[in-house]
């Protein structure tokens, strides 16, 4: 087997906003950034639309932004972490402008701010309407390419973290280009930053790139890292129901600009439900859309009167999706569905991005820093990724840098070989998993649906045993979501249970998990359910 070996000071898995921010702030340390695709491609960061929440208006303040975030988070946000990110928001915007990112401005030079649900002020700093992610990533990539301390490894997928006796050695992966057979890559370092993004890819309907299926969570869990809040998956109320995969997003800023939510009878079903009507928090909107669909209704965004002819200039990306679907948003209703959008939970970190495993750091969507609690306030995620990207870099810089071992132990190579087995036959099982997760662990859950999801996973695991490392990771991550969802017998934020419709103050706490606790938890749930059914047999 041929292998390429790199020995940077720090290895960063992920080239979205989080990973690139860490890399830039580590100068002059030697850094290696790894991305599964070409730089900027297939990242949520590039696909993000509205922009970054920042209290930069003179009538707004960090304190108001903090309060909006805490209110939306339903009692589970860590106030000091929220305070940190909101107080850094103006600096983050300034840093991006300094590297050439262009944000939308008014003629007087002030930011042309957008409004999104549950924000009490206009505070979304965006670019070219709904093209913020493209512009922010353009700026970051440009800067990264001019930074001699950064080596970029594109089209490389990391399969394992090399770890023994509580010591991290680096990561091992392979080129995703199938024309380079057996060509694997070893990156040795005592500091690994996971910035691998979210997990929407395990659900049948998602706005995320399909390559975002929680791989970073699986990598971290496999070496014993603590995870938390896995049950909190945020569903976006307005995916565009054009039959595309992934589902294109219609940014919340469209409702901020005045669009209404209606059903096929032209009824504004949010009227009388919440004082903020179409700008109520995402969980409330998503739940009401679900109820409409459950009644057999169709749901639409109506931009005809309040945005009309301005739609194309205000939201060019969404307009281009509509044109492809042969719809004119100034004249036609846009069909929508709720879709898996953002994962609040993930690898548990402290205030510096440090995980429970020495040498392993996390930031961006893969991390659970405590900012979002049980419900993320719109556009706080790019802000979190940018602020924590910098914090992680500063903290790593304070650490000792160990001399790297020269050889990769054979056990790591063995793991690697196991992980690269054939994928083709796994495809049908991957779709079965996505479908059961969407149906049973989607926007609304109950004990029966969660157990149905678990039962399906156990069957998929049995039938597809050893077929694909990707499927194994998806099963592992889904099981963590299932355990969290079973344990949280209440409804809070984006975790909505029909059988426990209210908040329960006994659950004003986080549900931590690890690979070690997972099997124990699953076994105890399996004992409670009817084992006489053939499908419940656990492996
Ligand atoms: C359509 C859409 C619109 C959004 N709009 C907004 C918005 O307006 N405002 C906002 O705040 N948030 C928004 N979000 C959320 C926000 O974009 C994400 O939370 C954020 O960009 C995550 O950044 P990240 O760097 O953590 O991950 P990503 O940007 O997803 O990057 C992940 C990186 O990890 C790499 N990777 C993953 N696994 C591996 C592996 N095994 N080996 C090697 N590389 C790997 C990928 O190749 C990629 O480079 C939106 C999300 C979507 C999907």
- Answer yes or no: is 226 within a domain: no
pLDDT value, residue 287:
85
For residue 183, what are the contacts with CB-CB under 8 A and spacing of at least 6? 2, 3, 4, 174, 175
Does 296 fall in a domain? Answer: yes
Question: What is the distance in A from the centroid of ligand 1 to the CA of 151?
Answer: 20
Q: Which of 43, 217, 494 to mutate to test the pocket of ligand 1 (most atoms within 8 A of CB)?
A: 43
- Min mean pLDDT across 232-246, 430-444, 524-538 is at 524-538
Report CA(165)–ligand 1 centroid distance (Å). 32
The pLDDT of residue 66 is 98
Per the structure, the complete domain to which residue 505 belongs is given by 421-536
In a domain, 20, yes or no: no
Domain end point (choices 320, 338, 356): 338
Q: Is residue 498 part of a domain?
A: yes
Which atom belonging to ligand 1 lies closest to the Cα atom of 159? Answer: 41
User: Please, what's the b/e burial string for 253-280 (b: 16 or more CB within 10 A of its CB; e: otherwise)?
Assistant: bbbbbbbbbbbeeeeebbeebbebbbbb
pLDDT at 310: 96
| Separation of alpha carbons 253 and 256, rounded Å | 4
Distance CA 405, CA 415 (A): 18
CATH number at residue 481: 1.20.58.100
> In ligand 1, which atom is closest to the CA atom of 200?
53
Phi-psi region of 155 (alpha: psi -120 to 50; beta: other; left: phi over 0): left
**Percent of the chain beyond pLDDT 70?**
93
431 and 332 within one domain: no
Task: Note the pLDDT tens digit of each residue in 149-188.
Answer: 999 999 999 999 999 887 899 999 999 887 776 678 999 9
Give the count of domains, the chain. Answer: 2
Q: Are 228 and 512 in contact (CB under 8 A)?
A: yes
pLDDT, position 535: 47
Confidence at 537, pLDDT banded by 50, 70, 90? very low
Q: Per residue in 451-509, pLDDT tens?
A: 999 999 999 999 998 889 999 999 999 999 999 999 999 999 999 999 999 999 999 99
Say if residues 464 and 471 touch (Cβ distance below 8 Å).
yes
Distance CA 114, CA 375 (A): 20
Report the CATH number at residue 318.
3.90.700.10
Indicate if 427 and 532 belong to the same structural domain.
yes
Query: How many A from CA of 391 to the centre of ligand 1?
Result: 18
CA distances from residue 439 to 22, 202, 434, 499, 509 in whole angstroms, order as listed: 37, 12, 9, 16, 27
Please, is 146 exposed, middle or buried when counting C-beta atoms within 10 Å of its C-beta (0-12, 13-18, 19+)? exposed
Pocket of ligand 1 (CB under 6 A): 13-19, 34-37, 42-45, 47-51, 132, 157-158, 173, 195-197, 207-208, 212, 215-216, 249, 342, 364-365, 379, 381-382, 385
The total of other beta-carbon atoms located within 10 Å of residue 526's CB is 17
Indicate whether 27 pLDDT > 60: yes
- Residue 198 CA: which ligand 1 atom is closest? 30
374 belongs to a structural domain: no
Of 296, 319, 338, the residue that ends a domain is 338
- Pocket test of ligand 1: the residue of 155, 157, 196 to mutate, having most ligand atoms within 8 Å of its CB, is 196
**Domain end call among 338, 368, 385:** 338
């Amino acid at each position: 087997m041929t292998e390429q070996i790199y020995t940077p000071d720090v290895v960063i898995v992920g080239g979205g906003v989080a990973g690139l921010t860490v890399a830039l702030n580590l100068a002059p340390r030697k850094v290696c950034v790894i991305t599964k695709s070409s730089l900027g491609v297939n990242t949520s960061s590039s696909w993000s639309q509205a922009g970054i929440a920042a209290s930069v208006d003179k009538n707004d303040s960090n304190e108001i932004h903090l309060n909006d975030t805490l209110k939306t988070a339903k009692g589970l946000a860590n106030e000091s972490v929220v305070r940190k990110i909101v107080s850094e928001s103006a600096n983050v915007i300034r840093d991006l402008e300094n590297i050439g990112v262009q944000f939308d401005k008014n003629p007087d030079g002030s930011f042309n701010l957008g409004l999104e649900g549950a924000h009490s002020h206009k505070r979304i700093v965006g670019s070219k309407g709904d093209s913020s992610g493209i512009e922010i990533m353009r700026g970051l990539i440009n800067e990264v390419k001019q930074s001699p301390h950064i080596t970029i490894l594109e089209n490389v997928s990391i399969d394992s973290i090399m770890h023994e006796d509580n010591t991290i050695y680096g990561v091992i992966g392979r080129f995703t280009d199938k024309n380079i057979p057996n060509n694997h890559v070893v990156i040795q370092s005592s500091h690994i930053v996971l910035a691998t993004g979210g997990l929407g890819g395990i659900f049948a309907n998602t706005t995320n790139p399909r390559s975002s299926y929680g791989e970073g969570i699986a990598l971290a869990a496999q070496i014993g890292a603590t995870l938390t809040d896995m049950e909190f998956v945020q569903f976006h109320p307005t995916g565009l129901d054009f039959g595309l995969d992934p589902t294109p997003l219609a940014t919340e800023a469209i409702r901020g600009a005045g669009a209404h939510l209606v059903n096929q009878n032209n009824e504004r079903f949010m009227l009388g439900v919440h004082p903020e009507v179409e700008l109520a928090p995402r969980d409330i909107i998503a739940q009401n859309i679900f109820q409409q669909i459950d009644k057999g209704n169709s749901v639409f965004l109506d931009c005809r009167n309040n945005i009309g002819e301005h739609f194309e200039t205000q939201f060019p990306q969404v307009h281009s999706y509509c044109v492809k679907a042969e719809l004119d948003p100034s004249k036609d209703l846009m069909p929508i569905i709720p879709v898996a959008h953002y994962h609040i939970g993930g690898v548990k970190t402290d205030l510096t991005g440090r995980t429970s495993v020495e040498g392993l750091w996390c930031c961006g969507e893969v991390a659970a820093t405590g900012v979002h609690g049980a419900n993320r306030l719109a556009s706080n995620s790019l802000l979190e990724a940018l602020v924590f990207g910098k914090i992680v870099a500063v903290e790593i810089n304070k650490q000792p840098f160990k001399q790297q071992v020269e050889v990769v132990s054979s056990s790591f190579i063995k793991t690697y070989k196991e992980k690269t087995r054939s994928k083709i036959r796994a495809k049908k099982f991957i779709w079965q998993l996505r479908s059961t997760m969407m149906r049973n662990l989607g926007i609304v859950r109950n004990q029966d649906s969660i157990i149905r999801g678990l039962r399906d996973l156990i069957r998929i695991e049995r039938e597809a045993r050893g077929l694909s490392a990707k499927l194994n990771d998806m099963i592992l991550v889904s099981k963590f979501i299932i355990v969290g969802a079973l344990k949280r017998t209440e409804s809070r934020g984006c975790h909505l249970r029909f059988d426990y419709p209210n908040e329960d103050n006994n659950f004003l706490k986080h549900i931590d998990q690890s690979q070690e606790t997972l099997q124990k938890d699953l076994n105890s749930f399996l004992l409670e359910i009817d084992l006489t059914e053939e499908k419940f047999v656990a492996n």
